[in-house]
Structure 1
Amino acid sequence: MLIASTSVATAQEAAPPAAAPAPEAVAAPESVAIAPAGTADGCELHVWPAERMNSITTGLLGGGLLDAALHANRDASNKTMLASALDSQSQLDALLSLDLRGMLKLSPGTTIITHAMPLERKTMNSVKTRRSSSQAKCYSELIVADVFYQKAAIYGRSLKTLFMVRDFGSDSKIDFEYKAWGGNGLKLFPPKEGEDALAALDELVGVFKKNFDEYAGNEAKAPRKPEKI
């Protein structure tokens, strides 16, 4: 009896402890609110990243089906790298690193709300009401519509970005809308074999921000409708 009891005790000591249950995956929030440095005043800016990435390379043929076929593999590779460097969160991070309130002439008390899920590109122009469920008394939107790499035989390499700002005021009717491209040249992207790929991807993010700076400068000059009385 003594031997059997000792054997059982030894076996229990040697047995590994039960594995802890695996932690449940936590989904990323669909939207994140970034409060102003001072007091929030009830105004909101909602920001969405682009759904669509595109790459077009044109040679001496100047475009067309044959030119597209000749550069199809290169453009597919470029789109993959674009999606890597400028995925949804990277676009939002790049925009949040800028002074959006100042560049878009918003009130300092504006709360910025980012949305992780891009809007469907085909609905960009057709939906004329607020794209969120917010009932804020002072409401505007910044939508990234397209991110577009282009290489042209004459003009070289560039990254172009289509942005749209819509201001609704206190209701669901658009008071002001401005949609336009920002575009700047590239020196490192796409990287060739043996070149620093990370530097080329970082360049995309930097030029993306420069494109918005260009867009915002033009947006500030666009005529507004008279304020509602």
Structure 2
Amino acid sequence: MKSFRLLVCVCLASASAPALVHAQDLTDEAAAVPSEATPAAAPAAPHEGLLPSVAADGCELHIWPAERMNSVTTGLLGGGLLDAALHSGKDASNKSLLASALDSQSQLDALLALDLREELALSAGTTFVVHDEPLERKTMNKVKTRRSDSQAACYSELIVADVFYQKAAIYGRSLKTLFMLRKFDAAQKIAFEYKAWGGNGLKLFPPKEGEDTIAALDELVGVFKANFSEYAKNERTTAAARVATK
């Protein structure tokens, strides 16, 4: 069974109505409907950072976190097997810290804290469908059909493909993130696809012995967000140029 959570835009009909509600796997929705004798549970609190003021309009953005984390440290040797062997222990430690700071839930929370509708030029009533389980990295480019069972006519996918820490002798430390956005038409074919890296420098990560580990991990989350904003800006430019040339 495909596991995902649904974040639904609801009309703010009253002051008490939540801006967003969380729902369980849609395949279990029927079982979750309360009977007349059983009062409905109170709606969940809205997700922090997401405050839509319009009702859902039928458009969906499905979001998947990255499966793969990687760390590459290169010294004066400039890479290669010897360089990899010399830094294997440090890279293993960095990957563990990456997985701690940017696990699937943390990636999703970081993205949902941004204004994805504005960043990706989506309609104001777009519904977010959040998938907890990453897609297999090797299938990222091979599968050209929708990665969910949704039949929505207005449908897009945002996939985090890679989270990559790099330390280079010349360029210093950075976090790079590979994102893919796919927009489908009503015939369920890809109408637009944009895959690219976002990358920014790091000052605190990885923490040295005695340094503030929490601050270093928080920096990773902040740079992850900055990477997405950089990616989204380039995506909007690419999409606008594509429209202009039609």
Tell me the TM-score normalised to structure 2 length: 0.79
1:98 aligns with 2:114: yes
Q: C-alpha separation between the residues in 1 aligned to 2:73 and 2:125? A: 43
Match runs of 1:127-142 below 5 Å: 127-142=143-158
SS at match of 2:218: helix
Match runs of 1:15-30 below 5 Å: 30=3
1:145 Cα shift?
0.1
Q: What percent identity do the matched residue pairs reach?
A: 75
Report the structure number with the largest CA radius of gyration: 1
| Ranges of 4+ aligned residues in structure 1 off by more than 2 Å | 223-226
Partner of 1:215: 231
**Deviations 1:130-173, CA, capped at 9 Å, x for gaps:** 00000001000000000000000000000000000000022221
Equivalent position to 2:7, from 22, 34, 43: 34
Partner of 1:23: none
1:87 aligns with 2:60: no
**Deviations 1:196-220, CA, capped at 9 Å, x for gaps:** 0000000000000000000000000
Q: C-alpha separation between the residues in 1 aligned to 2:211 and 2:225? A: 23
Match runs of 1:32-111 below 5 Å: 32-36=5-9, 37=52, 38-111=54-127
1:30 Cα shift?
2.0
Q: C-alpha separation between the residues in 1 aligned to 2:145 and 2:186? A: 12
Q: Which one-letter code corresponds to 1:41 in the other structure? A: D
Partner of 1:160: 176
Q: C-alpha separation between the residues in 2 aligned to 1:179 and 1:106? A: 17
Which consecutive unaligned segments of at least 5 residues does structure 1 have? 1-28
Q: C-alpha separation between the residues in 1 aligned to 2:185 and 2:110? A: 26
Partner of 2:47: none
Q: C-alpha separation between the residues in 2 aligned to 1:79 and 1:223? A: 34
Question: Contact conserved, 2:174 with 2:201, CA < 8 A, in 1?
Answer: yes
1:31 Cα shift?
1.1
- More deviation, 169-178/140-149: 169-178
Q: C-alpha separation between the residues in 1 aligned to 2:8 and 2:194? A: 25
1:86 Cα shift?
0.2
**Deviations 1:1-48, CA, capped at 9 Å, x for gaps:** xxxxxxxxxxxxxxxxxxxxxxxxxxxx92111123211110000000
Partner of 1:114: 130
Q: Which one-letter code corresponds to 1:49 in the other structure? A: P
Q: C-alpha separation between the residues in 2 aligned to 1:137 and 1:197? A: 45
Q: C-alpha separation between the residues in 1 aligned to 2:210 and 2:60? A: 46
Partner of 2:217: 201
Q: CA RMSD in A?
A: 1.4
Partner of 1:20: none
Question: Contact conserved, 2:66 with 2:163, CA < 8 A, in 1?
Answer: yes
The count of corresponding residues between Structure 1 and Structure 2 is 199
Q: C-alpha separation between the residues in 2 aligned to 1:210 and 1:44? A: 23
Partner of 1:9: none
Which consecutive unaligned segments of at least 5 residues does structure 2 have? 10-51
Partner of 1:24: none
